[in-house]
Structure 1
Amino acid sequence: MNVNGAVPSVFDAGLPTFSYDLDATPHDIFADLRNAQSQAPIAIGPLGPEILSYDLAREILRDNRFRLPPGITLAAQGITSGPLFDKLASSLLGLDGAPHIRLRKLVSKAFTPRATSRLTETIHQVVNGLIDRVMDAGSCDVVTDIARPYPTPIMCALIGAPSEDWQLFSDWTEQIFKAFNFQPDANFDESEIMRAWGELDAYVDDMVAARRDNLTDDLLSELIRAESDGDRLNLDELRGLVAGFLMAGTDTTRNQLAASVQVLCEHPDQWARLREHPELAMQAVEESMRHSPAACIVPRAALEDAEFGGYLFPAGTFVFANTFAANRDPAIYDDADRFDIARKDVPAILTFGGGAHYCLGANLARRELAEALVVLTRRLSAPHRTGPAPWKSILGMTGPTTLPIAFDVTTGA
């Protein structure tokens, strides 16, 4: 407290500071993060206050006074209006308040176990097919050969698109995701993104028309069925949700799968343990997302002057929940830097966010990752890295850009 009893501004409270380049990876800043975390639960980073403790990070993700401004990823590219901005701001990822609650309520009715449990066969076909291509070589780049092509066919199967159209969806996702990325992209082209999004919308229109009188058991049919107090999703909302699912479910899974495989490769005892005990798969997913997450920073902005954690955050202040630091908080996790897929009685990781925007597809993502790790550990024996595995910036979706490994071939699929 100040002498006059007022809550001090977060900027004037003498909190620890640390700095990093905007292209710094989680590994680059870890020592500085841990040093700041040992001094205070909040520190001032290069872009604003960063929440470093587990308890405060969990709290701010649930605090409606701090939200992600709609279209903020495009603003990072210099775009603050126009058709692409409007499209992004009206998506499930861009909405807040009552419109967001309404959409989420309808979507949660569609995200049933039935809509995702039938994907197990597809998941096994996809991951085994990718491994088949590299088995004879005894080596591969996990990023390009396995992780990158893995999620799109699964997302298409979830939605109900035929397998022969997987490449179309992959191309559209590649373009549209540029609008959701905080990192400036040298290949960013608004007209190309709108073209790709328009083609995806037209494809979804045809899928919806085909299902209106012939509903099946895919997610799109569940979305059409979904009703809450007489309310249903309109065509614009169905289009936006399909695009949102593709964006949220593709890049995240690609990067996390590569990151999870890397940390398991670097801990051969844990790889062997998962191979011998596939029932630990879900715990292996949780632990690898805690220890080596593909999503490390959750940005928020104070909508009003807000007292939080004993400090005043002026309206408009950008705040970053550093879930990478929070998931390694020594006050919460015993021997927090140790990678151990058999950890027990640990609190939920914060990698899937929290509060109103907690990841709707979290259970599907866990299933995709767990099934892939079970198959990989069963079929690839004694994997080891054969070259560098540089990571992307902590400020965007991170993870290795390349992960060259060699392995022993085992029988059985």
Structure 2
Amino acid sequence: MNAINTPPSVFDAGLPTIGYDLTATPHDILEDVRVAQLTSPIVIGPLGPEILSYEMARDVLRDNRFRLPPGVTLAAQGITSGPLFDKMANSLLGLDGEKHVRLRKLVSKAFTPRATSRLQETIHDVVNGLIDTVADAGRCDVVTDISYQYPTPIMCALLGAPREDWQLFADWTEEVFKALNFQPDVTFDEVAIMRAWGELDAYVDDMVAARRSNLTDDLLSDLIRAESDGDRLTLDELRMLVAGFLMAGTDTTRNQLSASVQVLCEHPDQWATLRERPELAMQAVEESMRHSPAACIVPRAAVDDVEFGGYTFPAGTFVLVNTFAANRDPAIYDDADRFDITRNDLPPILTFGGGAHYCLGANLARRELAEALTVLTRRLDAPHRVGPAPWKPLLEMTGPTTLSIEFTSERLVAADA
């Protein structure tokens, strides 16, 4: 009787399929996603079941029966054990259950709105300084001239690292982030990644030692202060968290800023609207992250046999939550493919994930992006793209690899902006 009542396996239910190459970009799969969403909220994709509907995507992200497979990105590189795998599996991103809950509880005490609001002046100065370097030229590559250089100074200021060491952090982050790449990469070098990570850990050790005797007004000091029922973060945990914040807060912001600028440039009426109504900056961030997100896919795996959405997901089933599709679900968003920064009263976008692994730095990311878009739309008039803007694959952190634009500059002194 139980067997009769057991929902069919997700693999044997005749679900529609969606096929794309593993190097496909979000734009490459858009038409297929549109068609698939009309037939089923779940499809079988090239790597297994994919969740396309907003409601099911949100539910999977909140469901503890589906968890992030430890070291999943390294497994794509053929690495399933060893020191790098262990570091990734024991990071905040790789942990689940009681260990994860404990760390989130402690970290949340430091990652407060106050911690991000005190960075406002730094954020403002950084973005204006970057625009100053390109304003007179009347053209720039947004990716290399602005986005790539934007987040690292802010993350370093957040942690309390001195300006003269910002380039060190940029280099370490660039190398370590390769461990989060889904795509097989001929330049992937485990030894180089571990070397960079070791240098970062050693630097953080020195920072922690200095802070313990002289706490200051930065995130690292807040993490050292953080306490819950007598529990505090260990040195190993502080190292791990700093690396995690750098990885999570650097490449994501770089790519999302470029993606957001591109979609605004390609909708000049929206650029003009934000220029005239800067109070819409946060809505512009939400809408560009919904319409043109840098993070499109969230991997999960069924911990046990899971009954969900009318199907059985066998234990170990690799599931892709396609947040790119969910954020354009026509059942949720009116005219879902339309880009409109005046949208409001909508459910939260899923680009920051959901559930236990909802992005801790979401508020900081929103603040960084909102300030950048506000300043860019005020200082650069009538921008338009010149040349192609190819994107990276949706299975990794995506976004344009190059974005050349021309504009009319309204050069404003940063202090008066």
Using the size of structure 2 for normalisation, the TM-score is 0.97
Matched with 2:78 is: 78
One-letter amino acid matched to 1:213: S
**CA-to-partner distance for each residue in 1:42-88, whole Å, 9 max, x for gaps?**
01111101000000000000011111111111111111111111111
Residues 258-337 of structure 1 mapped to structure 2, 5 A cutoff: 258-337=258-337
> What do the CA deviations read for 1:354-397 (whole angstroms, capped 9, x no partner)?
00000000000000000000000000000000000000101110
Compute the RMSD of aligned alpha carbons.
1.1
Alignment partner, residue 24 of structure 2: 24
TM-score calculated relative to the size of structure 1: 0.98
Distance in 1, matches of 2:293 and 2:281, equals 16
Q: How big is the shift at 1:12?
A: 1.3
- 2: distance between equivalents of 1:325 and 1:257? 20
Query: Helix, strand or coil for the counterpart of 2:213?
Result: coil
Give the Å deviation of 1:186.
Answer: 1.7
**1:150 lines up with 2:185 in the alignment:** no
Q: In structure 2, what is the equivalent of residue 235 of structure 1?
A: 235
> Structure 1 residue 3: deviation in Å?
11
**Using the alignment, how far apart are the partners of 1:339 and 1:57 within structure 2?**
21
Is 2:246 aligned against 1:246? Answer: yes
Structure 1 CA distance, aligned partners of 2:8 and 2:159? 50
Amino acid corresponding to residue 224 of structure 1 in structure 2: I
Q: Distance in 1 between matches of 2:23 and 2:298?
A: 16
Whole-angstrom distance in 1 between the partners of 2:192 and 2:76? 18
Taking the aligned partners of 1:108 and 1:5, their CA distance within structure 2 comes to 42
Superposed counterparts of 1:6-405, under 5 Å: 6-405=6-405
Report the AA paired with residue 125 of structure 2.
Q
Q: CA deviation at 1:190?
A: 0.8
Contact kept? 2:132, 2:411, Cα under 8 Å: no
Q: How far, CA to CA, are the matches of 1:335 and 1:114 in structure 2?
A: 37
C-alpha deviation, 1:205, in angstroms: 0.7
Cα shift readout 1:23-45 (whole Å, capped 9, x = no counterpart): 00000010011101110110111
TM superposition shift of 1:14: 1.4
Q: Which amino acid aligns with 2:67?
A: R
Distance between the aligned counterparts of 2:123 and 2:370, measured in 1? Answer: 10
Query: What stretches of structure 1 move > 6 A for 4+ residues in a row?
Result: none
**Per-residue Cα deviation, 1:303-329 (whole angstroms, up to 9, x for no partner):** 111000000111111111100000000
CA positional deviation for 1:4? 3.8
Secondary structure, counterpart of 2:370 in structure 1? helix
Write the distance in 2 (CA, Å) between the matches of 1:179 and 1:261. Answer: 27
Q: Is the 8 A contact 2:297 2:395 kept in 1?
A: yes
- Give the drift of 1:297: 0.6
Question: What code does the residue aligned with 1:136 have?
Answer: D
AA aligned opposite 2:170:
S
**C-alpha deviation, 1:8, in angstroms:** 1.0
| Secondary structure of residue in 1 paired with 2:191 | helix
Q: Could you tell me which amino acid in structure 2 is paired with residue 376 of structure 1?
A: L
CA distance in 2, matches of 1:43, 1:73: 22
Give SS of 1:320's match: strand
Q: CA deviation at 1:181?
A: 1.6
Deviations 1:258-277 (A, max 9, x none): 00000000000000000111
CA distance in structure 1 between the aligned counterparts of 2:389 and 2:157, rounded to whole angstroms = 31
CA contact (8 A) 2:135 2:411 kept: no
Q: 1:10 to 1:407 in 2, by over 3 A?
A: same
In 2, Cα distance between equivalents of 1:112 and 1:11: 43
Write the distance in 1 (CA, Å) between the matches of 2:131 and 2:269. Answer: 22
Supply the distance in 2 between the matched residues of 1:163 and 1:185 (Cα, whole angstroms).
Answer: 32
Quick one: distance in 2 between partners of 1:363 and 1:172?
A: 24
